Amino acid sequence: MVEVEDYTFTGPNGPVRLTELFGDKYLLVVQQVMFAPDWDEGCPSCTWAVDNLPANMQRLFDEGIAFAMVSQAPIEKLKDWCAKRGWNHVWVSSADTSYHHDWGWTQQNDQGEEGQLPGYSYYLLKHGKPYLTYMTTARGTEAILPVAHIMDRTVYGRQQDWEDSPEGWPQEPTYG
């Protein structure tokens, strides 16, 4: 468990502190949705993951768990994408903070180019301070994707080119 800075993000209605994302809950799950500042749309894979969230998040809330999404793109782009997708989840921008770099959600390669990672952060609010208790990225994000798990149990699986499938089975590019 690591104490985290109480970052001030930008929400649809102005500044929002990390601790405010908890609302009246003591647990918070944050989905890092890949959406770079210079992109016009969210990452297709992350978009698919948000589309996989429960239509009714009340059960999560009933268990004391708040949910929010964070991206590095400016809030206006996030609001537009949210409206286009029909999402009603809390989504804030970290564009004016060091959050994405501090926690490795945005990384720089040897050529100085930045790239983003998808993932989830799990927080605990204790005595008014936020603590990171767990984070995961890449394939670790699939634990909460029910559609992926349903697909995995069908005869053809996800039909993605990374799967070791018999000759002649349908396969498509991953996240294509």
* Domain identity same for 44 and 96: yes
Structural domain boundaries, residue 116: 2-138
* Domain identity same for 54 and 108: yes
**Candidate from 53-62, 115-124, 128-137 with smallest mean pLDDT:** 53-62
Tens of pLDDT, residue by residue over 10-22, are 999 999 999 999 9
Whether the predicted pLDDT of 58 surpasses 70: yes
Domains in the chain, number: 2
* Domain identity same for 77 and 159: no
pLDDT of residue 122: 95
Q: Which residue has the higher pLDDT, 60 or 2?
A: 2
* CB distance 37 to 75 below 8 Å: no
pLDDT of residue 154: 65
* Domain identity same for 149 and 133: no
Q: What CA–CA distance (Å, rounded) separates 175 from 144?
A: 17
Whether the predicted pLDDT of 146 surpasses 70: no
* Domain identity same for 168 and 130: no
Cα–Cα distances in Å, from 129 out to 7, 39, 105, 141?
A: 11, 33, 21, 25
* CB distance 175 to 44 below 8 Å: yes
Q: Which residue has the higher pLDDT, 170 or 137?
A: 137
